[in-house]
Amino acid sequence: MAGNSSNSCISEELVYSARFQASAVVYGLVLAVGLPLNTLSLWILLRSHGLRSPCAVLMVNLAASDLLLALSLPLRVYFYATLQWPFGVATCTTAIMLFRVNIRTSCIFITLISVDRFVALVFPLRSRSLRTSACAIKCCVAVWILVTILSIPEIRNLHSALKECTYIPCFEFQVLAKGSKTIAVAQATFLLTLLVINVVSTVVVIVVLRKRPSDGAAKVNNKMNVILIFAINLLVFILFFLPFTLQLLTIKNDDSGDVIRALICLASVNCCLDPLIYYFSLDSFWQDNGKRQTDVGTYSLSRSMERS
């Protein structure tokens, strides 16, 4: 390990400061809001909508991703409140990786939701064979498998480096191994590509909606709902994912890591907003749809405008 990586193992315990206190407060608030909200959202989605539409499938997976992050937050709150870590190396590695996996999967699922709505609106008839629950389930399974496989080297590297620490600083720990810069650039490039896809989808949808006539309040309502979801998709990317992504490109061996840790705090807030954005903005969220499509905001709008 010595020749391949440098890490932030320290021989003495951390000294409590305002930054640690602020971290404990932020993670505590995110936990207090995100855990019940995502649990409730996941329960409602599974109970009322199941996996009967591609949009419902994607939302269930987004909620599950956010719930995994929320479940790891009590450990972060404890660490930053006490600056002690009695839970061992494996637990620390798991908690750190849950955050990283959440960032990656959330970005992907948010983008897939945008693409699903984009295709449903712009190509409502041609996309019917593609926009199925089975196809959405396969995509989600592929996402989880791919992200897990790509995370294995990272997990092994992190676990090995942590084992060398006498005092485990856990969430204050960072390891910069050989090739880590390449991984950071690859991850940043991937997330920026997803952002571009969201931007393009949003612009095209707005152009399409402006060109199609709107007769009646229902159609105007549907238009606004669709545009709102696309706009907030971009907002989530720009506020929570973009700063963290760009910071990955500037990390150096002698970096104290204070900035990236602050951005990790900021990025964790996305698990609180996802349920509000993607679930409560749907008119049908609280209703049992039966055989109807869950994503009526897009589906009904596209059908009605095809008739116009």
pLDDT at 251 over 90: no
User: What's the pLDDT score for residue 303?
Assistant: 43
- Average pLDDT (182-203) is 86
Q: Give 69-81 pLDDT, tens digit per residue.
A: 898 999 999 999 9
| Alpha carbons 242 and 38: distance in angstroms, whole number | 23
pLDDT at 206 over 60: yes
Q: Quote the DSSP letter at residue 167.
A: B
- Name the fold adopted by 5-307: Rhopdopsin 7-helix transmembrane proteins (1.20.1070)
Q: Give 79-103 pLDDT, tens digit per residue.
A: 999 888 889 899 999 998 988 898 8
pLDDT at 301 over 60: no
- What phi, psi does 24 have (nearest 5°)? -60, -40
| Ranges of each domain in the chain | 5-307
Within 83-179, where are the H helices? 88-122, 133-163
pLDDT at 174 over 80: no
Q: What is the pTM of this model?
A: 0.81
User: What's the pLDDT score for residue 306?
Assistant: 42
pLDDT at 256 over 80: no
User: What's the pLDDT score for residue 189?
Assistant: 86
pLDDT at 254 over 60: no
Mean pLDDT of the chain: 77
Q: Give 38-59 pLDDT, tens digit per residue.
A: 898 888 888 877 787 888 898 8
User: What's the pLDDT score for residue 235?
Assistant: 85
Q: Give 120-130 pLDDT, tens digit per residue.
A: 888 877 778 88
User: What's the pLDDT score for residue 214?
Assistant: 57
Q: How far is CA 223 from CA 53, 125, 126, 212, 297, in A?
A: 20, 19, 21, 10, 8
Through-space distance between the first and last CA atoms of the chain, rounded to whole angstroms: 66
User: What's the pLDDT score for residue 148?
Assistant: 93
pLDDT at 297 over 50: no
User: What's the pLDDT score for residue 13?
Assistant: 61
User: What's the pLDDT score for residue 276?
Assistant: 66
Q: How far is CA 289 from CA 46, 53, 79, 213, in A?
A: 12, 10, 43, 27
Band the pLDDT of 1: cuts 50, 70, 90: very low
User: What's the pLDDT score for residue 59?
Assistant: 87
The label of the residue with tokens 């199941």 reads 50
User: What's the pLDDT score for residue 144?
Assistant: 95
The more confident residue out of 76 and 251 is 76
pLDDT at 145 over 60: yes
